[in-house]
Amino acid sequence: MASERNISQICLYVSLLVSKLGRNRITWDLEIMSETVQATAERIRRLEVQGARNVAIAALKAVQTLAEKTKAKDKDAFLNELEEAQALLFASRETEPLMRNALRYVSLQALDSSTEKVDALRELVASNVGLFLQNLEASRELTAEIGAKRIRDGMLIFTHCHSSTVTRMIAKAKADGKEFSVICTETRPAFQGRITAREMVELGVQTIFIVDSAARSYMGDVDIVFVGADAITSEGNVINKVGTSSMAVLAHEARKPFYVVSELLKFDPETLCGAYERVEQRNPAEVWSEAPKNLSVRNPAFDVTPSRYIHGLICEEGVIAPQSIVETVNRSYPWVLKQ
Ligand code: RUB
């Protein structure tokens, strides 16, 4: 476990990093911003790119393109462009630490590099994006392999929303020759559950599709619950699509194991230093586009599932207790805490 002194050092690093990389700056100069970054941020904001992992991949690729197309004349101008791009991408969805960790990793390599040459920095960004993407892919495969072992023949699996990490794990179990069924929720208001349902049907998995509010009627019949994650806090609480925490409580009531399937890099280091994970509030029109005037419609994108409802976090390091997230991240990705 990190000592008190280590934690204060980590908090200092994280706060320096956040100010160094300008997470909250909104003074970007659109003239220097590549169209790709703006277009990607807009696609993310509109949910045309959906799910934490896909969001991080799209953001990384946009930064890679920005580096390829840069007209920066010197290192300072190049770093400034990266910083502006980050601010724009970070603002596209608030609750996405995987994207933030990924972009910070890439920027820091450029920031800490001794080279002053723009061409060399450009190559550095391209190769680090490539490395990060490879690592992300390897983590997902490992997570899928580990998690697929929890799926047994004849099981009825429950899932909520669409997580590419969860569906990859289910695909692996299917490829291993296991026969099982899946219940998935439609996931109001944006219906990401339909993506899951389509993927399950394409895999040849027998699938039942329900409205979110029917979850309790079916929870007694299921054997296991798997959900993805957008963010994991230092206490091991998990932020995922709104409704996830209700499913966790229902699973608890019905005594069904509830697992979160997620890359470790969804851990948000700022939570270790006391920050709350922000929960993105989306446009109320997604819930009811023609709502009566003076009606207050709320549309939180995510909710928080306390660690006590989570049987295990299935990640690239194995099936771990969610409360051990800080130690595990520190072992596997020390740069997240020590940048
Ligand atoms: C998607 C969602 C997913 C996580 C994990 O919400 O909550 O469960 O992002 O997905 P939204 P993945 O559709 O609003 O982005 O495992 O693909 O990272």
How many whole angstroms from 163 Cα to the centroid of ligand 1? 5
How many whole angstroms from 3 Cα to the centroid of ligand 1? 33
Separation CA 125–CA 65 (nearest Å):
10
Q: 3-class secondary structure for the chain? A: CCCHHHHHHHHHHHHHHHHHCCCCCCCCCCCCCCHHHHHHHHHHHCCCCCCHHHHHHHHHHHHHHHHHHCCCCCHHHHHHHHHHHHHHHHHHCCCCHHHHHHHHHHHHHHHHCCCCCHHHHHHHHHHHHHHHHHHHHHHHHHHHHHHHCCCCCCCEEEECCCCHHHHHHHHHHHHCCCCCEEEEECCCCCCCHHHHHHHHHHHCCEEEEECHHHHHHHHCCCCEEEECCCEECCCCCEEEECCHHHHHHHHHHCCCCEEEECCHHHECHHHHCCCCCCCCECCHHHCCCCCCCCCCCCCECEEEECHHHCCEEEECCEEECHHHHHHHHHHHCHHHHHC
Nearest to 238 by CA among 269, 270, 267: 267
Query: Does the CB atom of residue 228 touch ligand 1 within 6 A?
Result: yes
Question: Mutate which of 93, 162, 286 to test ligand 1's pocket (most atoms within 8 Å of Cβ)?
Answer: 162
Cα torsion 8, 11, 13, 16 to 10°: value is -130
Separation CA 18–CA 105 (nearest Å):
12
The residue with tokens 């990401």 is: 192
Question: Which residues form the catalytic set?
Answer: 161, 230
Q: Whose CA is nearest to atom 12 of ligand 1?
A: 163
Domains of the chain: 2-140 (1.20.120.420), 149-338 (3.40.50.10470)
* Residue 163 Rama label (left phi>0; alpha psi -120 to 50; beta): beta
Identity of the amino acid at 183: I
Token code pair at residue 203 = 């895999």
Query: Does the CB atom of residue 301 touch ligand 1 within 6 A?
Result: yes
My answer on whether omega of the bond before 269 falls inside 30° of 0, hence cis, is: no
Whether 182 and 171 have beta carbons less than 8 Å apart is answered as no
Separation CA 35–CA 28 (nearest Å):
13
Query: Does the CB atom of residue 230 touch ligand 1 within 6 A?
Result: yes
Residues with Cβ within 8 Å of residue 249, at least 6 apart in sequence: 309
The residue with tokens 């690093």 is: 13
Query: Does the CB atom of residue 59 touch ligand 1 within 6 A?
Result: no
How many whole angstroms from 226 Cα to the centroid of ligand 1? 12
**Residue 27: Cβ-neighbour burial (10 angstroms; 0-12, 13-18, 19+):** exposed
How many whole angstroms from 61 Cα to the centroid of ligand 1? 18
How many whole angstroms from 50 Cα to the centroid of ligand 1? 6
Question: Mutate which of 54, 192, 264, 268 to test ligand 1's pocket (most atoms within 8 Å of Cβ)?
Answer: 192
Separation CA 137–CA 148 (nearest Å):
16
Q: Whose CA is nearest to atom 1 of ligand 1?
A: 51
Whether 82 and 125 have beta carbons less than 8 Å apart is answered as yes
State the maximum Cα–Cα separation within the chain, in Å, rounded to a whole number.
63
**Angle, helices 118-148/52-69, rounded to nearest 10 degrees:** 160
How many whole angstroms from 231 Cα to the centroid of ligand 1? 10
Query: Does the CB atom of residue 51 touch ligand 1 within 6 A?
Result: yes
Q: In whole angstroms, what separates CA 185 from the centre of its chain?
A: 20
Spans of the chain, pLDDT less than 50:
1-3, 12, 15-16, 18-31
Q: What is the pLDDT of residues 31-57, one digit of tens each?
A: 456 789 999 999 999 999 999 999 999
Query: Does the CB atom of residue 236 touch ligand 1 within 6 A?
Result: no
Query: Does the CB atom of residue 241 touch ligand 1 within 6 A?
Result: yes
Residues with Cβ within 8 Å of residue 237, at least 6 apart in sequence: 304, 305, 306, 307, 322
